Amino acid sequence: MNTHLSLNDPHTPRRCAPPLFIKGNRGSLAEIPSMKRGARQGGVCRSLSQNLSLSLNLSLAPILALGFALFASPLPAQPNITQAAHAPVTATLIPLSENWRMDGDVPVHALLISLQGLANRDQPRVYLEYPQNWQWEIVHPLVGFLENRHGMKFDRLGLDDADAALGRFARYAKGVVVWDKAVRSSLIVAFTIAGVEDLVVVNEDQLALAARHGLKPVVDLRGRFTGQPDEQIYQWAYDHYWARCSRDYYVVLGGHAGAEMQPGIADFGIQQRAFFSDLSANPKHPGELALLKKILIQQNTASIVLGWHSYGKDTEGQHTTLVGNYGLIMEGLHNLPNVSFTSQIPLTPDFKFTNNHHVTPGRPLKAEPKVYVCAVATDSMGIGTWTKPGRGRIPYTWQVLMDWAWMNPPALQYFYEDKSPNDYFIGGLSGPGYMYPKAIPPDKFPGLMQIARRLMAKLDLRVLEIMDYSEGNRHVGNTDLPKELVDRYYEQFPDILGFINGYGSARTFDLRDGKPFLSYDYYLDVNRTIPEAIADLDELIQLNPKRPYFLLMHVRESNTIEKVSDILGHLTESVEVVPLDVFLSLAADAKTYRTYHRQPNDPVDRNP
């Protein structure tokens, strides 16, 4: 029997009830740096905490209520999102080409993405249909979902049709900002200016087109940055625009570098008036690093860093570690598209997040003397194999990016409604977003984990996945957690079913009060052939002779489920493939693994 428990938090001070359409933060208030977040965001906003609801097994309710009571401190602020009461009846759909070169179609895409950010600022009006091979592969299925579940009608324009788009939406802009074709970083600065000044991003070749729609240059970056290094370019942007930018969102518009750019997240950054850069977190670039630290330290606690580090400057480990040092939350996908649109679309009234649970808390399963295997796919469901053949063939566990509960509700509803009986969801990654727990200052850890708990409750998730590349990676160094940090996770998640850790293989294992803390024993590389993967798993089974043996494998997102199924079907010893909640319950019953935490002499690699 299920009950519906509202989690309105009386200690959450800053939100208020929404009208039909809710206004978000506006620039005039954002200009006042001394104001606190709640006031600065202005307007009336639908609160995340007010929206939180939890589907519970009735027998668990008292336990969980107690658990939440233990953590009833004020909810750390999370950014507000302008959200409609319902999806719009119609919206404009603009297909984009596959060319993402700076000297190719990036100029027209930048124009359209900036226009999208402005047009969608107070209502979802424009959806960009990214090409079929776009890394975030849910762009196309989501159109069908919005049509079918929300009854939306899309009015389709021509491919990259900026003229038609400006004809419809130029009225949401006050002019244009002109970026310098000779200076790549000027386009990133232009995205900042577009959001702050309500301008469409163009280069000199598009000035005439913009003029035909009444848009004149307001800011011209041509020649301004010639010969300057990035630290100087972004310092100029900081000096002129930072004070008016959001303290809830910062965009690191990295990822592809050089001749290519995939600024899929820019519409949302512009909508939210975020500061954009691709500043480096690499100590080899001290000037850029200093400015980046200056930016991050001024952002609100638990605010969002959108995008991805620059492939040309620093590493994932360096950047995510630095973001964690300031207690910020990484939402790491620079080409995540249409968030200015989807973030405003609510869940359908008939929907609630419901997972495929196989275990009843308090009733542990009995492990048999055999090998248990659990396959987990991470790296965001939107860029994995969700839409590929084979899903549903074997029990499979999927890591949910929990902040999408408010950043991208239709995407999560799509996944939850599209799941097969063999798909099981878990929370990640280390907290409410992508973060490394060893990098988070201890005083900021409880607040972040409080957000994670509430998102897990909303999304019906009972397992948390942890990853930490602050001291290593899947090649060198270590990805393990010291006992003190494991203690903190157990303390913060009293109602959890268990934790899993790693990305590549890791060594942190524990079991407390029936809640296992296990690490990956195997990482299935995309390039690993099926015969070699079979030999790998057979070897692990040989190396771990006790039964039951709990073999947790991380499946790199591009591996198909068919491949995983083939591998598991050809092992020399028969194994049982189970979903993660079953796996953890069995691991709680038979502790054949040794307790292990990060040791003081473990190797450390800072991901240079």
Which residues are within 8 A (CB) of 41 and not within 5 positions of it... i.e. 6 or more apart?
14, 24, 25, 29, 79, 80, 248
Picking from 533, 525, 518, 534, the residue whose alpha carbon sits closest to that of residue 580 is: 518
CB 427 within 8 A of CB 449: no
The distance between the two most distant Cα atoms of the chain, rounded to a whole number of Å, is 75
Which is closer to other proteins, CB of 536 or CB of 566?
536
100 binds other proteins (CB under 8 A): no
Residues 313-352 interacting with other proteins (rule: CB under 8 A)? 315
Specify the stretch interacting with other proteins by CB under 8 A; choose among 171-179, 228-236, 481-489, 600-608.
600-608
CB 91 within 8 A of CB 152: yes
Q: Which of 260, 576, 596, 606 is in the footprint of other proteins by CB under 8 A?
A: 596
Q: Which of 10, 227, 349, 545 is in the footprint of other proteins by CB under 8 A?
A: 545
542 binds other proteins (CB under 8 A): yes
Beta bridge partners of 314: none
Which residues are within 8 A (CB) of 525 and not within 5 positions of it... i.e. 6 or more apart?
556
Q: Which of 204, 538, 576, 589 is in the footprint of other proteins by CB under 8 A?
A: 538
Which residues are within 8 A (CB) of 241 and not within 5 positions of it... i.e. 6 or more apart?
192, 193, 196, 275
63 binds other proteins (CB under 8 A): no
Q: Where is 56: in which H helix or E strand?
A: strand 53-57
Which is closer to other proteins, CB of 266 or CB of 555?
555
Residue 132: how many other CB atoms lie within 10 Å = 9
Specify the stretch interacting with other proteins by CB under 8 A; choose among 98-106, 115-123, 459-467, 534-542.
534-542
Min. distance of Cβ 580 from other proteins in angstroms? 16
Distance between CA atoms of residues 25 and 396, nearest Å: 40
Beta bridge partners of 385: none
Distance between CA atoms of residues 154 and 147, nearest Å: 8
Which is closer to other proteins, CB of 215 or CB of 466?
466
Q: Which of 281, 593, 597, 598 is in the footprint of other proteins by CB under 8 A?
A: 593
Min. distance of Cβ 533 from other proteins in angstroms? 9
Min. distance of Cβ 371 from other proteins in angstroms? 12
SS3 185: helix
Which is closer to other proteins, CB of 461 or CB of 578?
578
Min. distance of Cβ 596 from other proteins in angstroms? 8
57-63: list long-range contacts, CB under 8 Å, 24+ apart. Answer: 57/1, 57/2, 57/360, 57/361, 58/1, 58/2, 58/3, 59/362, 60/361, 60/495, 61/3, 61/5, 63/361, 63/495
Which is closer to other proteins, CB of 50 or CB of 544?
544
Residue 548: how many other CB atoms lie within 10 Å = 20
Which is closer to other proteins, CB of 349 or CB of 545?
545
Q: How many residues bind other proteins (CB under 8 A)?
A: 44
CB 201 within 8 A of CB 190: yes
Min. distance of Cβ 315 from other proteins in angstroms? 7
The alpha carbons of the chain give a radius of gyration, in whole angstroms, of 24
Q: Which of 93, 388, 605, 606 is in the footprint of other proteins by CB under 8 A?
A: 605
**Cα three-residue angle 235-240-242, rounded to 5 degrees:** 75
CB 143 within 8 A of CB 182: no
Min. distance of Cβ 551 from other proteins in angstroms? 8
Which is closer to other proteins, CB of 2 or CB of 542?
542
Q: Which of 32, 147, 539, 569 is in the footprint of other proteins by CB under 8 A?
A: 539
Min. distance of Cβ 255 from other proteins in angstroms? 15
Residues 474-533 interacting with other proteins (rule: CB under 8 A)? 474-476, 504-507, 509, 519-525, 527-529, 531-532
Give me the half-sphere count of Cα atoms (radius 13 Å) on the Cβ side of residue 418: 20
Min. distance of Cβ 230 from other proteins in angstroms? 20
Buried b (16+ CB within 10 A) or exposed e, 224-262: bbeeeebbebbbebbeebbebbbbbbbbbbbbbeeebbb
Residues 455-484 interacting with other proteins (rule: CB under 8 A)? 473-476
User: Site map for other proteins, 258-297, x if CB under 8 A?
Assistant: ----------------------------------------
Q: Which of 62, 392, 421, 603 is in the footprint of other proteins by CB under 8 A?
A: 603
Which residues are at the interface with other proteins (CB under 8 A)?
315, 473-476, 504-507, 509, 519-525, 527-529, 531-532, 534-536, 538-540, 542-546, 549-550, 572, 592-594, 596, 603, 605, 607-608
